[in-house]
Amino acid sequence: MSKEKIIPYKIYLEEHEMPDSWYNVRADMKNKPAPLLNPGTLQPLTLEEMSGIFCEELCRQELDDTTPYFPIPEEIKKFYKMYRPSPLVRAYCLEEKLQTPAKIYYKFEGNNTSGSHKLNSAIAQAYYAKNQGLKGVTTETGAGQWGTALSMACAYLGLDCQVYMVKCSYEQKPFRREVMRTYGANVTPSPSDTTEVGRKILKEFPGTTGSLGCAISEAVEAATSQEGYRYVLGSVLTQVLLHQSVIGLESKAAMDKYGIKPDVIIGCAGGGSNLGGLISPFMGEKLRGEADYRIIAVEPASCPSFTRGKYVYDFCDTGKVCPLAKMYTLGSSFIPAANHAGGLRYHGMSSVLSQLYADGYMEAVSVEQTSVFKAAEEFARVEGILPAPESSHAIKVAIDEALKCKETGEEKTILFGLTGTGYFDMVAYERYNNGEMSDHIPSDEELAKGFAGIPRFPGNDI
Amino acid sequence: MSKEKIIPYKIYLEEHEMPDSWYNVRADMKNKPAPLLNPGTLQPLTLEEMSGIFCEELCRQELDDTTPYFPIPEEIKKFYKMYRPSPLVRAYCLEEKLQTPAKIYYKFEGNNTSGSHKLNSAIAQAYYAKNQGLKGVTTETGAGQWGTALSMACAYLGLDCQVYMVKCSYEQKPFRREVMRTYGANVTPSPSDTTEVGRKILKEFPGTTGSLGCAISEAVEAATSQEGYRYVLGSVLTQVLLHQSVIGLESKAAMDKYGIKPDVIIGCAGGGSNLGGLISPFMGEKLRGEADYRIIAVEPASCPSFTRGKYVYDFCDTGKVCPLAKMYTLGSSFIPAANHAGGLRYHGMSSVLSQLYADGYMEAVSVEQTSVFKAAEEFARVEGILPAPESSHAIKVAIDEALKCKETGEEKTILFGLTGTGYFDMVAYERYNNGEMSDHIPSDEELAKGFAGIPRFPGNDI
């Protein structure tokens, strides 16, 4: 007698079933992602050049596109056990509400104090810094999610943590700031007088409330000007996607345990850390020809790097201090319209995901924010979790796909990434609740202005 | 060969291991808690009197002190599966930090959008209201935790939810307010002009920022003056402790599964909903003489109902519109000094816990808030969870007990309740981080003022 397993509302792996290694999807890519370039020489960045800014082991991970698995160090596995495995949730209540024959699953990464998946890479980056004998790390944070995650990781390892927080966020989001301070981080509003670049900007624009580009420049300067410090970054980089593969590996293990195979995999895409992590083992199977999945990246219509950007080399930061990366980009000077999904406002995209998209291994759609908040509200009311605006982009498209199944009668299995909670995004929810939220799709002229800032050199045709 | 089970960092019950019934500890109490009294007649409140304010089934639960188990309705079990079981966590990292031979466990109730255990009773109360064919429920909220939980439950069941939120909280905690609105609740700053009592207070004190007592009065008036509405309450009542028994039942099932037996059980005590829920099945065994546990209630030194209060009949609310309850009380007019553990500022205590304390089945200690925030910070940095100030009272005493074990070398097993997260309490953390927090222990004179407001009648000696 065959015994069909009842799928619970939440699938938790046992501790011994948690991944022992991160998966490096580049190892299975025929067309490797283009290397980072030194903006001065336009030559691929060397380990030596890179290791002045980043920890050595992280540089090695950044450059290695052939090793498929990187063992997760014991200390990191221990930290993971504190807040992982994260649940793979069967959205029974949402399915019932939608009256869809589709089976909807989501991997929920919000059940930790940082409120998102960012912690998965923060602990890894802090660990390698500690292991190298460093005193501390520096970083920038906009909304504060990444800064919080890094503060938590550093507090755990006893590492100094210096966060440059965009001044307007520092002032408008005092709660995020205090969480970081509670974890012992040194939080400085940027621009500040603690760095040369900060002082220069303050002199030039005395009343400025800062920008992410400026905060990056200050954090990089702080790292390179202090003995025993390095700079760390929460998205875009390939090392970050590697650490975030834990999301996908856990999802796949949980699904395999119950014999579930997703037809469609959906994730929101800002810099690509969550999406890259979620899809990695599934993409690996697809690249090796072992299985096929529809993979959908969801981005805001106000910042459509995949769907309307150029696939060229560009600066990673508005301050133009970082290396050049080949990616789908709107230009480092592109300024998206006010959109509260702060984590999805990045002008570019992970070079790994860019290459996979260019090669046709995944799709991309863009959605407007009012429809995203509508989906968020619908989800919150039946599934009980108040989602982050970023994550809600994936919810929106998952609901759309489930409703298509309702029309066609197909019993598709949908998996999406629920990257985090929206507890610190209530200003955006308030605007939505008050009917004060609007959409903005950039015109071709607006996009052209951003493209104009992309560097021109032989082979970099836009 | 005996195979000793490795205790994971987090023990999750399987769905089929979740409790099917709530446990009513009163059934095992020889000395039953004293009944609620009608303040007019000083006679025990009847089902009829009670059911004008509360749903009928909840009144029955409130009055029943003999039935040991109440089956959990299927619809509520379904909702529980959305966010439960909550994890029983082995605090390996905290143990290591403290270098204690004690084994520390905590039941973490904060992994849901309401951020606390309040949801366990909110869904039950909303369910019975819906089942009775009511249109909606009314309630008051101070800090907003209970209001949020109730909003979530009502959204799920499609029930109208009217929340009277103390005006100063409404203005100072717009995020909590917006979470409730996102779940479709109607949130009114109290005092308001929507009720007679509200209009009266506004006329008398035009600039008032409200109080919990006033919000209760408005919510009760709103419930009794609208067809198809009843009033609901998040703590103190015996029905609430019944629903919260799910915390203790899950904890015990998880411990039994691994053959763990706690020596000490610790919970913070405000109105008693969390503590009463956590200890209930353990207390049942103690009452039946099947096992012995040390049970410790932790309260703030600024509001010490157990440790310095009187065990007499008193009003449950400052507005004196509710029935009289026999409990440890500081007097309904007692105003605790500014203490950010809002949930522990209640002047009284559950009548069930009061009777158990009076009969010597549990201990109580009071702790000062700066020591509580110190413990909270220590906990957050090693266990990764930013705790609510209320929950941190239990952390403080758990750490104290673990340090005693370090001195004596005893390998005691400690279980405490981690009721919620502190994401909406960052103003208090900021004061602590800035060294601006102070302690206040009320003088005997201050307490005497509160006691003076306790009603006098034959047999109610203070």
Predicted pLDDT at B3:
54
Residue A283 identity: M
CA–CA distance, B214 with B366 (Å, rounded to integer): 28
CA–CA distance, B234 with A115 (Å, rounded to integer): 26
In this prediction, what percent of chain B has a pLDDT beyond 70? 97
A315: phi then psi, degrees, rounded to nearest 5: -70, 145
CA–CA distance, A396 with A368 (Å, rounded to integer): 10
CB-CB contact of A51 with A309 (8 Å): no
Nearest residue, CB atoms, B381 vs list A78, A183, A424? A183
Distances (CA, A) of B364 to A426, A450, B281: 38, 65, 19
* Per-residue pLDDT tens over the stretch B34-83: 999 999 999 999 999 999 999 999 999 999 999 999 999 999 999 999 99
* Per-residue pLDDT tens over the stretch A33-48: 999 999 999 999 999 9
**Positions of E strands within B235-323:** 264-268, 294-300, 310-315
In this prediction, what percent of chain B has a pLDDT beyond 90? 83
CA–CA distance, A442 with A335 (Å, rounded to integer): 10
* CA dihedral of residues A279, A282, A287, A288 (deg, nearest 10): 160
| CA neighbor of A236 nearest in space, from A205, A263, A270 | A270
Chain A CB contacts of B93 below 8 Å:
78, 82, 156
**Positions of E strands within B217-269:** 229-231, 264-268
Chain A CB contacts of B426 below 8 Å:
174-175, 178-179
Q: SS3 sequence, chain A? A: CCCCCCCCCEECCCHHHCCCEEECHHHHCCCCCCCCECCCCCCECCHHHHCCCCCHHHHHHHHCCCCCEEECCHHHHHHHHHHCCCCEEECHHHHHHHCCCCEEEEEECCCCCCCECCHHHHHHHHHHHHHCCCCEEEEEECCCHHHHHHHHHHHHHCCEEEEEEEHHHHHHCHHHHHHHHHCCCEEEEECCCCCHHHHHHHHHCCCCCCCHHHHHHHHHHHHHHCCCEEECCCCCCHHHHHHHHHHHHHHHHHHHHCCCCCCEEEEECCCCHHHHHHHHHHHHHHHCCCCCCEEEEEEECCCCHHHHCEEEEEECCCCCCCCEEEEEECCCCCCCCCCCCHHHCCCCCCHHHHHHHHCCCCEEEEECHHHHHHHHHHHHHHHCCCECHHHHHHHHHHHHHHHHHHHHCCCCEEEEEECEECCCCHHHHHHHHCCCCCCCCCCHHHHHHHHHCCCCCCCCCC
Neighbours of A288 (CB within 10 A): 9
Predicted pLDDT at B209:
83
In this prediction, what percent of chain A has a pLDDT beyond 70? 97
The predicted model gives A85-96 an average pLDDT of 97
Reported confidence tier of residue A305, pLDDT bands at 50, 70, 90: very high
Predicted pLDDT at A433:
93
* Per-residue pLDDT tens over the stretch B284-343: 999 999 999 999 999 999 999 999 999 999 998 776 778 899 999 999 888 777 666 667
Contact A429 B113 (CB under 8 A): no
| CA neighbor of A397 nearest in space, from A304, A249, A298, A264 | A298
Predicted pLDDT at A340:
64
* Per-residue pLDDT tens over the stretch A334-359: 877 766 666 788 899 999 999 999 99
Distances (CA, A) of A290 to A113, A264, A267, A280, A287: 37, 16, 22, 14, 8
CB of A358 within 8 Å of a chain B CB? The answer is no
Contact B423 A426 (CB under 8 A): no
**pTM confidence score:** 0.95
CA–CA distance, B74 with B346 (Å, rounded to integer): 33
Maximum Cα–Cα distance for chain B, whole Å?
78
Reported confidence tier of residue A401, pLDDT bands at 50, 70, 90: very high
Contact A182 B383 (CB under 8 A): no
A160-169, B310-319, B380-389: segment of lowest average pLDDT: B310-319
Q: Which one of B178, B183, B257 would you mutate to disrupt binding with A, by most A Cβ within 10 Å of its Cβ?
A: B178
Predicted pLDDT at A2:
47
The predicted model gives B120-137 an average pLDDT of 98
The first and second tokens of residue B368, run together, are: 């000062």
CA distance B247 to chain A (A): 18
3-state secondary structure of B163: strand
A contact residues 270-309, partner B, Cβ 8 Å cutoff: none
Q: Which one of A178, A377, A429, A430 would you mutate to disrupt binding with B, by most B Cβ within 10 Å of its Cβ?
A: A178
Predicted pLDDT at A1:
41
CA–CA distance, B212 with B236 (Å, rounded to integer): 14
**DSSP class of B420:** B
Maximum Cα–Cα distance for chain A, whole Å?
78
3-state secondary structure of B301: coil
Spatial CB neighbours of B215, under 8 Å, sequence gap ≥ 6: B140, B141, B142, B164, B165, B166, B190
The first and second tokens of residue A281, run together, are: 């083992």
* Per-residue pLDDT tens over the stretch A175-207: 899 999 999 999 999 999 999 999 998 998 888
CA distance A304 to chain B (A): 27
CA–CA distance, B254 with B359 (Å, rounded to integer): 29
CB-CB contact of B188 with B165 (8 Å): yes
Put the strands of the sheet holding A186-190 in their side by side order. A186-190, A160-166, A136-141, A229-231
Residue position matching structure tokens 């997703």: A262
Distances (CA, A) of A302 to A207, A336, A428, A437, B359: 27, 6, 15, 13, 65
Find the angle CA(A49)-CA(A55)-CA(A58) to the nearest 5 degrees.
Answer: 95
A125: phi then psi, degrees, rounded to nearest 5: -65, -40
* Per-residue pLDDT tens over the stretch A212-267: 778 888 999 999 999 999 999 998 899 999 999 999 999 999 999 999 999 999 99
CA–CA distance, A376 with A429 (Å, rounded to integer): 9
Compare A306 and A319 and report the one with higher pLDDT.
Answer: A306
Contact A10 B382 (CB under 8 A): no
Residue position matching structure tokens 């480092």: A332
Predicted pLDDT at A332:
87
CB of B384 within 8 Å of a chain A CB? The answer is yes
Predicted pLDDT at B169:
84
CB of A386 within 8 Å of a chain B CB? The answer is yes
Q: Which one of A377, A426, A432 would you mutate to disrupt binding with B, by most B Cβ within 10 Å of its Cβ?
A: A426
Average pLDDT, chain B: 94
Contact A82 B15 (CB under 8 A): no
> Crossing angle of helices A212-225/A196-204, nearest 10°?
150
Kindly report the length of chain B: 462
In this prediction, what percent of chain A has a pLDDT beyond 90? 83
A127-150 CB burial, b ≥16 within 10 A, e <16: bbbbeeebebbbbbbbbbbbbbbb
Element of type H or E holding B171: helix B167-172
Predicted pLDDT at A212:
79
Reported confidence tier of residue B163, pLDDT bands at 50, 70, 90: very high
Chain B CB contacts of A423 below 8 Å:
113, 115, 175, 179, 423-424
Nearest residue, CB atoms, B8 vs list A15, A175, A182? A15
Contact A386 B182 (CB under 8 A): yes
Chain B CA closest to residue A16:
B8
Average pLDDT, chain A: 94
CA–CA distance, A320 with A333 (Å, rounded to integer): 10
Chain A CB contacts of B377 below 8 Å:
182
Residue position matching structure tokens 């059934």: B27
Distances (CA, A) of B328 to A197, B24, B142, B273, B315: 61, 21, 22, 15, 11
